[in-house]
Copies of this chain bind each other. A is one copy, B any other.
Amino acid sequence: MLPIKTLTVLGTGVLGSQIAYQAAFHGFAVTAYDIDDDALEKARARFARLAGIYQTANVAGASEGKAAAALENLRLTTDLAGAVAEADLVIEAVPELIELKRDVYRKLAELAPAKTIFATNSSTLLPSDLKDSTGRPDRFLALHYANNIWAQNIAEVMGTGETATEVFDAVVEFARNSGLEPIEIKKEKAGYVLNSLLVPLLNAAAGLLLQGVASPETIDKTWRIATGAPSGPFQIYDVVGLTTAYNIASSSPNAGSQAFAQYLKANYIDQGKLGVATGEGFYKY
């Protein structure tokens, strides 16, 4: 098994900061890279907030000093060369712009030692879209986290046809060692496993609402009672955030999705109701 002991996370946005913090919480020495001091300042605030969240959410050990100790495992830097010089694994969590990501990989290819494994956290691109820029397609794959890592603790591991088996296995082991359940995906698939399941459910719920079949409350109640799930589809929409739901729906060629995007905009987004994050979406919080 290839040893993964040191981790570098590129990008300290919502998910990048969670990825870095989660690994630090589980004892990894983590370097978090972002482009300037402003970004690092925000990252520091995110990490401090996460330490509080892990305690509030009762993540095992968080209240016994582990949440605070995690902060000491995190090093912040704007120096890319220094950030990756000793990394066993680099997780890239930069914005979802293909040319930006390719540019990052071209730089990484030069700066990182030959041993370093690269993993993209992209939700919307396939690793095959990026592999040619890495200079090491056998040591490159996707490692995809869901938002609110501490609660939805899965990490989807998905290689390309060129990813070496030992690299795949090492990243699976890393995910497990950082407190997540690794989801081993055997073949490239847009949306990985989770979104491939979730999106059709959410689309179906949107269709029922738009067709006037039933209210969000009724649809959610049906799902909760009949399947035993804790949340119905509109509760999930509120957690995902209605802006994200709008962006996905409006970029679909499907007429129903377009109609749902307009519905979300007119009834929720234009009124500042963006879901759980703003205190109101389909439900009030």
Contacts and interface: CB of A to CB of B under 8 A. Distances in A.
Contacts of A200: 200-201, 203-204
A185 B203 contact: no
A154 B225 contact: yes
Interface in A260-280: none
A185 B204 contact: no
Nearest to A197: B204
Interface string A187-226: 1010001101111110111011001111100110111011
Contact of A212 (B184, B186, B222, B233): B186
A198 B222 CA distance: 11
A184, A197, A201: which has the most chain B beta carbons within 10 Å? A197
A153 interface: yes
Contact of A229 (B154, B194, B227): B227
Interface in A103-161: 146, 152-154, 156
B194 A211 contact: no
A230 interface: yes
A214 B227 contact: no
A152 B213 contact: no
Contact of A205 (B197, B213, B221, B231): B197
Contact of A231 (B156, B203, B228, B236): B228
A214 B154 contact: no
Contacts of A153: 225
Given A184-B218, A186-B213, A189-B208, 12 more contacts: A146-B226, A183-B218, A183-B221, A185-B213, A193-B214, A193-B222, A194-B226, A197-B205, A198-B226, A200-B204, A227-B236, A229-B229
Interface of A: 146, 152-154, 156, 181, 183-187, 189, 193-194, 196-201, 203-205, 207-208, 211-215, 218-219, 221-223, 225-231, 233, 236
The 5 lowest CB-CB distance pairs between A and B, nearest first, are A200-B200, A229-B229, A228-B230, A200-B204, A189-B213
